[in-house]
Amino acid sequence: RRLTRALVDLAEASFQVNFDAIFRHCLLDPDAEVRAACIDGLWENEEVTLVGPFISALRSDPSPEVRAAAAQALGRFVLAGELEEIEEAVQERILAELLTTIHLGGESIEVKRRALESAAYASTPEVLDAIDIAYDEEDQRLQLSAVAAMGHSCDRRWREPVLKELQSDLPAMRYEAALAAGEIGLRPAVPFLARIAAEDDPQIRDAAIWALGQVGGPQAKRVLLNIYADADEDTRAVVEDALAEHALQEGELDFILYQVDPDEDAEWVDEDDLEDEFDDQDEYDEDSDYKDGDYEQDGDTWDY
């Protein structure tokens, strides 16, 4: 167990090592913790030959930990199907298995959660219904996964619940909502993300900072520059990545070479001023697309 986990950690820390052959060999190890760790260790491997073993593990592995790991691992293949990187039939097979798991009576909540999060990359009507059902559940864990799934879907139909959950009292929910706001590209979320980016929890703060980069627009950039001006070295590194993502979203071709100028638009922006600015600019139209200057985002523009 310790050796397998050490190999997984080493593989995550360095792109120069590859233990995929070992992880593949140990997928049928008698120890459930080893099997789960091996699935995790294959997180970067997108070979479609892994789909069969992962589906088998999801269907029949006696350990819920292994089934949950398999459900999560299948998500990247669902996404690959959306990007037309694997055959449609393969994606359909994966989705069928994930949906079966989501609706399977007696299945572990954690397995259902990972299945929902993975299936959400496809945004089929069945998956969207499953997200709705999970969000309405009383179990807070399912609600968290529903919000994560909303983000994975990149579908703006979820704008209202995501904006609502950005104001949740539950830190874990604010974290998931921040990630979802970034994935969907919700510019009306900027004032809420600015507030979350000032929280003490580094994981939640970093999620909000990254989401600001994904959302794009001048307000998000101003917030990022404000954060950068007073941030420590670690946080500045996160902000720099977010600004590079922001530049990419705005179509700046030199985003890879983006350099932060602390004096650029660095006047402090109060959260209330941000909210007023969005109201004044009619930034959020409930019945149409979001607007921000010359930025336009139609349904056709989302190539996830």
Confidence of residue 266 (pLDDT cuts 50, 70, 90): very low
Closest-CA residue to 48 (of 15, 89, 7): 89
Burial of residue 274 (number of CB atoms within 10 Å: 0-12, 13-18, 19+): buried
Q: What is the pLDDT of residues 183-207, one digit of tens each?
A: 999 999 999 999 999 999 999 999 9
Tell me the three state secondary structure of residue 295: strand
Confidence of residue 267 (pLDDT cuts 50, 70, 90): very low
Cross-strand pairs, 291? 296
Q: Does residue 277 carry a pLDDT above 90? A: no
Report d(CA 178, CA 196) in Å as an integer: 8
Task: Return the structure tokens found at 291.
Answer: 């607007």
Closest-CA residue to 238 (of 251, 228, 249): 228
Give the model's pLDDT for residue 6. Answer: 72
Q: Does residue 56 carry a pLDDT above 60? A: yes
Give the model's pLDDT for residue 16. Answer: 62
Phi, psi of 113 (to 5 degrees): -60, -50
The total number of residues shown for the chain amounts to: 304
CB atoms within 10 A of CB 56: 14
- Which DSSP category does 208 fall into? H
**pTM score, two decimals?**
0.82
How far from chain centre, in Å, is Cα 6? 26
Question: How much of the chain exceeds pLDDT 70, in percent?
Answer: 77
User: What structural domains and CATH numbers belong to the chain?
Assistant: 157-304 (1.25.10.10)
Q: Does residue 46 carry a pLDDT above 60? A: yes
Task: Return the structure tokens found at 252.
Answer: 């700046």
Q: What is the pLDDT of residues 150-180, one digit of tens each?
A: 999 999 999 999 999 999 999 999 999 999 9
Q: Does residue 127 carry a pLDDT above 90? A: yes
Q: Could you please report the per-residue DSSP string of 186-220? A: -GGGHHHHHHHTTSS-HHHHHHHHHHHHHH-SHHH
